[in-house]
Structure 1
Amino acid sequence: MEEVYTVRVATGTSEYSGTNNYIYVTLVGEKGESERTMLDNPGLDFCRGAVDEYKVSSPFPLGRLLLVRLEKQKYWVEDNWFCRYVTVEPPGGEPAMTFPCYRWLIGDIKVEIREGTARKLVDDNSSSQLLAHRKTELQTRKETYRWTTWAPGIPRCIDAKSEADLPQDVRFDNEKRSDFEHSLKYALLELSLKKLTIRFGKSWNDLDDFKRIFWKLRSPIAEYCMDHWKEDWFFGYQCMNGSNPRMIKRCHKLPENFPVKADMVQSSMAPRTNLDKELKAGNIYLLDYAITDKIPTNTIRGKPQYIAAPLCLLYLHPDQGLIPIAIQLEQTPSLDAPIFLPRDPPLAWLLAKIWVRHSEFQVFQVLSHLLRTHLVVEVFCVATLRQLPAVHPIYKLLDPHLRYTLEINCRGRTQLISADGIFKRVVSTGGEGLLVLAQREYKVLTYRSLQPHKDFADRGVNQLPKYFYREHSLMQWEAIHSYVSGIVNLYYESDHDIQQDRELQAWIRDVTQEGFTELPKFGLSSELDNREELTTLLSVVIFISSTQHAATNNGQFDWCAWVPNTPCTMRQPPPTDKDAVTMETIMAALPDVSQSCVQMAITWHLGRAQPDAIPLGQYTEEHFTEGRAQELIDSFRTELKEIEDHIVKQNEGLELQYLFLLPSRVENSITI
């Protein structure tokens, strides 16, 4: 007796997802296969966003459905197709089964997709067919996604010379690509017009001259920054809540190479206290940019650029908040590296702070942003694609948090940090410097420092008030950790299950031995022994992909658009004589008109909200089909909504609001 199955096929919603090619389906069950059935009238079905319904027959009962085989064949012209999912309703009123796909079918191709219930390798032991399917899928993926070394001494990456070499499944959607390229052209065009109306390649005359590039590209925080950037409390605020909020540490003892005496800073202290008392009380903090010491510097249009390696002491004043109280611009104290103080001539103190902020630009862009989010996450992205089949619960968990990361990183390597990229054109560490800087940080990179709760404790900043980045990060870390813990415990009943999952163990070996090579002190084992280890690691990946990236990326235009606040380069060496600093000295050192325009354009392009952003916890592709997993996702969303409400309420009435980590503004993945 003929069995008739109802099959529904969902086409992607982005531009060019539909196809006019022939599409065939075959249902594969434990007891055999259905008839190979052509599903559509070419050119009429499989339109963008459509869900088309068909009847598929089998001359006998197929038993438990194992796979859906999709085939695409050319009709007139080649036409790619994006399939979201297939649902199959068996005869006899049984509940429909969902087969997630979420991939491109390109050329004459045949793919087989699994039903959506997440299954580990051991769960498929009873079916040689499903085991063979897993093996074939991973063999194909390993051939498609290969490791390579872009440069020695940094994390390894995807083997692709440019984004054009990437498989379509990890490329930007067409709308994203168009928007990305249009945005960059728009920003550069607007600033080119500004350069024509000012004076290309010349220095500014006065700090107010920077206002001449504040046209359409502006933001409330950038304008606030323009008005308050000289103020000491604002400098301290940015150490906690600016684009690089991970540098500040509590200082219990002054570094030997930073000989600040108590009488130097007494005038900055509150009444009836002194430096020793405040050190003991835990109210003294330090910024140390030793990592930038003697970094090779860029040459731009034949002119050398300069870098310092500052030490900056900050004091938590009971009335003024966190304020800088001493700055030394080199790591070795000398007559040519004096300690700058707030009581010094105002322009000398201002220039010292500018130099610290210049080091901040290098560290936040190359280390906090590029290395510690983009490149770290790429390792997990490549390992996941190579070692975990689409039906694996950890693949389903991670996939939404790896969206677009490979393409944006490829674009970064070809357009931003390449030998002729934008950094080379305008940034003091452009060229060799940024690579040396990244290599230095990579050598000392630890897994522990990527875990926010441990990082804050290690830096001694858990009690630092108005450190909104810390507070909001930890709230999101707890929400992410709780969600991940629920998923891990749902699919792994014991630690033994973790140890016996060969695919998962291959994944962690790929991460540690192929991705993070040359890192003996990284602190991440090549084996996963228990559920807590796995939960923490997956939480770190998701946290970095979302919250940590948002903290360093989303505010870069706000903090860098007013160029004197965070200059991308310095055109004169650090000052050696406090009394010799004039406004002419400052203007000669700050970026020129051309460099300022490019800094503003690029930070706007990279820091703006993405039009196709998917916020943290919103999963437009439903990889998990089980009710319990969906309940965990719903709980995660509820927790994020509570965090959102708390942050909104906390910021009510604040003149300077910290909204970068609103969950609705945090993307699931690194897409920019």
Structure 2
Amino acid sequence: MADVDRRKRMKIEDSKIKGTLVLTNHHSVSSLKDEFFGRRVLLQLVSAFPSESTVIILAIEGRGVRGKLGKETHLNWLNTFITRSTKGDSTFELDFDPDDDIGVPGAFLIINRHHKEFYLKTLTLTNVPNVGRLHFVCNSWVYPEEHYTKRYRVFFSNQTYLPGETPEGLRHYREEELDELRGDGTGKREEWDRVYDYDVYNDLSQPEKGSELVRPIFGGSIDHPYPRRCRTGRPLSDTDPRMESRIGILHSLEIYVPKDERFSDLKMADVYAYGLKLVSQGLLPGFESVWDKISDEIVSGLEHILNHKFEGVSSNKFNEFSSFKDVLNLYEGGLPVPKSNVLEGLRAKIPSEFIRELLRSDGEHLSKFPLPKVIEVDRSAWRSDEEFGREMLAGICPVVIRRLQKFPVTSELDPVKFGNQNSRITEDHIRDQMDGFSVHEAIKNNRLFILDHHDPLMPYLRGINETGTKTYATRTILFLQNNSTLKPIAIELSLPHPNGEEAGVISTVHTPASHGAKGTIWLLAKAYANVNDSGYHQLVCHWLHTHASIEPFIIATNRQLSVLHPIHKLLHPHFRDTMNINALSRQTLINAGGLLEKTVFPDKYSLAMSCNMYKKWDFTKQALPADLIDRGMAVEDPNSPHGVRLVIEDYPFAVDGLEIWSAIKSWVQDYVFIYYKNDEDIQNDNELKNWWDEVRTKGHGDLKDADWWPKMHTREELIQSCTIIIWVASALHAAVNFGQYPYGGYLPNRPAMSRRLLPEPGTPDYEELETDPEKAFLKTVTPQLQSILGISLIEVLSRHSADEVYLGERDTPEWTADKQALEAFARFGSNLERIENKIEEMNLDKKLLNRTGPAQMPYTLLYPRSDIGLTGRGIPNSVSI
């Protein structure tokens, strides 16, 4: 009898579904034991295919059809085996009692009945009847049940279903989950909320601190259109009820985004560390506001530092660089920091060990930086005209240069409002610089190119020059030489006419020179062009075209596409960390008085300038081939592997970019074809339709009536749109972000602002152009203190974190159960490895002069993989920094 009972128990045990649950929390194993002891976490499996009898009962009771729930399984210390990994993960082994009527589980419910949240990573089921093994990728925070309307969270297996193919048992939960993520559009969002919703950029101002910290509301108007950002629901300002109130700077990392969009613990640690380094190195004006909870004594000490009252170091010496050697000291020696009672007080008061280390006891090297790659081999190559031109093709911002197709250059600004803004550059200025070509011949032979920042800047220039900045709107004409390098041949510097906007501009045209005052003026003219390009890059090419434009797609995807949807699975890794970094940017970088306004020349007009450029944003032209054609840098060529032929064959960004673009598009096409057999499948997908309608009418609602939006009726439209989204979030962002420190960390090469105009002949300042050109140059561009702050900022922005996931990789190998999709993704990875090898080969090809240039700096910004840190290479999956 005992043997019969034992065999019966063994049979029951053998029939149980086995589960392995992996979670992470912030506590030790002993505290984890205390939390779970006597306080349960409950799990129930959900049948994907409810029995016919279940369907009938639910219909009679008036309830929607949903899968049958299995028996409850409790997660607690007494009946669960636990292991703890070095990564902080806890693994629980579970048994689910057999239920003959549940069939194949397609989801599970989990209820957290203890008082702390935990991060649920995965659940793996084995011994599942007729299936064997099922995997659930969760990667989500689970809060105590009182924070959820339904009291439970639902997680689906890694199967993929179009809406119309969803198993009947999961349909209700699929729709219910999307309702939860959409929310009701009301109330202040709390840390445990999972709601994705839209709002305008009305959270950048601080009206209670005065008019100087008030900016327009960006988004929701004809004058100031903008992509939407994540709604936080914070209370409106008492001073100006149009504006959302802001949180204190010390709480910047707490700004609301849905909890699952927040940085991982590892990434958060990096952000803290980089942020502290930024603050300590930058010594930014207003530093005390960052530490508004530190004692008055410490603030006083910081003011002491900011006022540069260093022992034995003159104020003037600290404020100004006198020579390029002074600049190099930032990398080779660091700025001297005084040994003083003030610093000793800081070390004693500030609790962070990290800060204590930065404020070293030897009083040295507070502001020492890594050597930027642009001066690693040759300290003076940046000054050459060839390197200046090369960086428009293979530098931080290789996406603005255009082929010149009309001469003289004309302006698109309204002549009624702005007068005559057309260029004053004539053929006489450039004839001797074009190797015997006339302008007509050079244009016909695709020899002339332009970096034109005149029109974007001119509407704001009068106001900008009333701030601490003094600069020009620039146009730079370049000639393509026989060796495929670009030579700048004229730079136009323009100012608003002193008689008013309607009077047009006053302009001077400068041509290459290498000696005397004219040689210094030519170097300064290139610097002014770089100042324009630096601001436009940061505010438009970087922030607007990647960070801001992608956020509406993230919000719409989570609101309208279920995690079961194939397009959600395709796009999800390309949205990682973006909402969190954007929220942090609104809090500290792009806000009124924020770091960008302090370090780029448009100052308080920064976001307004990007807003004006958003009026010209066209989603379809974010595709690399379309962008190159639009800028005249390529022409259509159906016989080319990428469908376009480059006008400059040695254009490293475009050459590498087209390889990456084609690899992404091939992967997306393979993936889409798995799930959509024809165009009718696209048209029958309601989730897809709602997603695209919301992207257009809400996320980018200010441009909803533009005629360029894809209709999303065909597979080709879906493939092209998803390829654009992935390209922008991964490769385009990498190309305009991770080169910031390698190229721009040496400020003379890439000044972010200028603070005086060209001196007039006959003045002492003009004489200095000839007698002390380095000092004259450095007195014109970014001053020392703001240089340190700017360099510190771009050093942070250019680093890869320890938990980065790169293009062609996923954070879990079991992101889908579909074998065809996994095989297609493996092909994508192989394609990227091939591209890496090709990039390495091209960078060794001495005939391709633009690959390395005079600075001997190989172009690696579109090399897919990278190590941790400041590498100048690597394409993360997403806009993650």
Length-normalised TM-score, structure 2: 0.71
In structure 2, distance between residues paired with 1:576 and 1:312: 22
Q: Which amino acid aligns with 2:863?
A: L
TM-aligned CA deviation for residue 666 of structure 1: 0.6
Match status 1:105 vs 2:142 = yes
In structure 1, distance between residues paired with 2:25 and 2:751: 39
Relative distance call for 1:468 and 1:223 in structure 2 (3 A) is same
Q: CA RMSD in A?
A: 2.8
Q: In terms of mean alpha carbon deviation, does 371-380 or 173-182 score higher? A: 173-182
Aligned twin of 1:434: 606
Alignment counterpart, residue 165 of structure 2, candidates 93, 104, 123: 123
Aligned twin of 1:258: 423
Aligned twin of 1:419: 592
TM-aligned CA deviation for residue 396 of structure 1: 0.7
Q: In terms of mean alpha carbon deviation, does 652-661 or 279-288 score higher? A: 652-661
Pairwise mapping of residues 142-221 of structure 1 onto structure 2 (< 5 A)? Answer: 142-143=182-183, 144-150=195-201, 151-152=218-219, 153-160=225-232, 163-164=253-254, 165-192=256-283, 199=315, 202-214=319-331, 215-221=368-374
Alignment counterpart, residue 782 of structure 2, candidates 591, 600, 615: 591
Aligned twin of 2:389: 236
Aligned twin of 2:802: 611
In structure 2, distance between residues paired with 1:267 and 1:277: 14
Relative distance call for 1:17 and 1:480 in structure 2 (3 A) is farther
Match status 1:34 vs 2:70 = yes
TM-aligned CA deviation for residue 343 of structure 1: 3.7
Relative distance call for 1:100 and 1:612 in structure 2 (3 A) is closer
Q: In terms of mean alpha carbon deviation, does 531-540 or 60-69 score higher? A: 60-69
Aligned twin of 2:458: 293
Relative distance call for 1:71 and 1:5 in structure 2 (3 A) is farther
TM-aligned CA deviation for residue 263 of structure 1: 3.6
Q: Which amino acid aligns with 2:860?
A: L
TM-aligned CA deviation for residue 218 of structure 1: 2.0
Match status 1:347 vs 2:517 = no
Give the gaps of 5 or more residues in structure 1. none
Relative distance call for 1:544 and 1:566 in structure 2 (3 A) is same
Q: Which amino acid aligns with 2:601?
A: S
Q: Which amino acid aligns with 1:564?
A: P
Residue by residue, what CA displacement relative to the aligned partner does 1:288-336 show, whole Å, maximum 9, x if unpaired? 1120113267889x96313422111000112472010001012789995
Q: In terms of mean alpha carbon deviation, does 506-515 or 580-589 score higher? A: 580-589
Alignment length (residue pairs): 664
TM-aligned CA deviation for residue 88 of structure 1: 2.1
TM-aligned CA deviation for residue 521 of structure 1: 6.5
Whether the 8 Å CA contact 1:479–1:640 is kept in 2: the answer is yes
Q: Which amino acid aligns with 1:496?
A: E
Relative distance call for 1:16 and 1:221 in structure 2 (3 A) is farther
Q: Which amino acid aligns with 1:102?
A: N
Residue by residue, what CA displacement relative to the aligned partner does 1:242-268 show, whole Å, maximum 9, x if unpaired? 111111111122214224333422332
TM-aligned CA deviation for residue 651 of structure 1: 1.6
Aligned twin of 1:311: 475
TM-aligned CA deviation for residue 183 of structure 1: 1.1
Aligned twin of 1:453: 625
Whether the 8 Å CA contact 1:487–1:632 is kept in 2: the answer is yes
Relative distance call for 1:428 and 1:273 in structure 2 (3 A) is closer
Residue by residue, what CA displacement relative to the aligned partner does 1:588-624 show, whole Å, maximum 9, x if unpaired? 3211111111011001011122222111110013331
Aligned twin of 2:41: 23
TM-aligned CA deviation for residue 586 of structure 1: 3.0
SS at match of 2:383: coil
TM-aligned CA deviation for residue 198 of structure 1: 7.4
TM-aligned CA deviation for residue 178 of structure 1: 1.4
TM-aligned CA deviation for residue 346 of structure 1: 0.3
Whether the 8 Å CA contact 2:226–2:611 is kept in 1: the answer is yes
SS at match of 1:667: coil
SS at match of 2:137: strand
Relative distance call for 1:482 and 1:331 in structure 2 (3 A) is farther
In structure 2, distance between residues paired with 1:407 and 1:247: 28
TM-aligned CA deviation for residue 506 of structure 1: 0.7
Q: In terms of mean alpha carbon deviation, does 207-216 or 130-139 score higher? A: 207-216
In structure 1, distance between residues paired with 2:730 and 2:760: 42
Give the gaps of 5 or more residues in structure 2. 1-10, 52-67, 146-150, 184-194, 202-217, 220-224, 235-251, 284-304, 332-367, 411-421, 498-503, 634-645, 846-851, 866-873
Aligned twin of 2:132: 95
Pairwise mapping of residues 448-597 of structure 1 onto structure 2 (< 5 A)? Answer: 448-461=620-633, 462-519=646-703, 522-525=706-709, 527-573=711-757, 580=766, 582=769, 583=773, 585-597=776-788
Q: Which amino acid aligns with 1:121?
A: P
In structure 2, distance between residues paired with 1:148 and 1:671: 21
Residue by residue, what CA displacement relative to the aligned partner does 1:327-383 show, whole Å, maximum 9, x if unpaired? 101278999521100048101111110000000111100000000000111111111
Aligned twin of 2:862: 661
SS at match of 1:330: strand
Highest RCO, 1 vs 2 (Cα 8 Å, sep ≥ 6): 1
Aligned twin of 1:7: 18
In structure 1, distance between residues paired with 2:282 and 2:96: 59
SS at match of 1:563: coil
Whether the 8 Å CA contact 1:310–1:331 is kept in 2: the answer is no
Aligned twin of 1:49: 89
Aligned twin of 1:370: 543
Relative distance call for 1:59 and 1:450 in structure 2 (3 A) is closer
Relative distance call for 1:15 and 1:614 in structure 2 (3 A) is farther
Relative distance call for 1:14 and 1:284 in structure 2 (3 A) is farther
In structure 2, distance between residues paired with 1:225 and 1:602: 24
Q: Which amino acid aligns with 1:604?
A: E
In structure 1, distance between residues paired with 2:839 and 2:278: 31
Relative distance call for 1:94 and 1:417 in structure 2 (3 A) is closer
SS at match of 1:565: coil
SS at match of 1:625: coil
Q: Which amino acid aligns with 1:231?
A: S
Q: Which amino acid aligns with 1:618?
A: E
Length-normalised TM-score, structure 1: 0.92
Relative distance call for 1:39 and 1:335 in structure 2 (3 A) is closer
Residue by residue, what CA displacement relative to the aligned partner does 1:403-437 show, whole Å, maximum 9, x if unpaired? 00000000111110111311233322122x11211
Whether the 8 Å CA contact 1:416–1:422 is kept in 2: the answer is yes
Whether the 8 Å CA contact 1:312–1:324 is kept in 2: the answer is yes
Relative distance call for 1:450 and 1:57 in structure 2 (3 A) is same
In structure 1, distance between residues paired with 2:458 and 2:131: 68
Whether the 8 Å CA contact 2:696–2:704 is kept in 1: the answer is no
Whether the 8 Å CA contact 1:551–1:661 is kept in 2: the answer is yes
Q: Which amino acid aligns with 1:65?
A: P
Q: In terms of mean alpha carbon deviation, does 518-527 or 374-383 score higher? A: 518-527
Residue by residue, what CA displacement relative to the aligned partner does 1:637-666 show, whole Å, maximum 9, x if unpaired? 010110111112222375320011111111
Whether the 8 Å CA contact 1:251–1:286 is kept in 2: the answer is yes
In structure 2, distance between residues paired with 1:545 and 1:495: 26
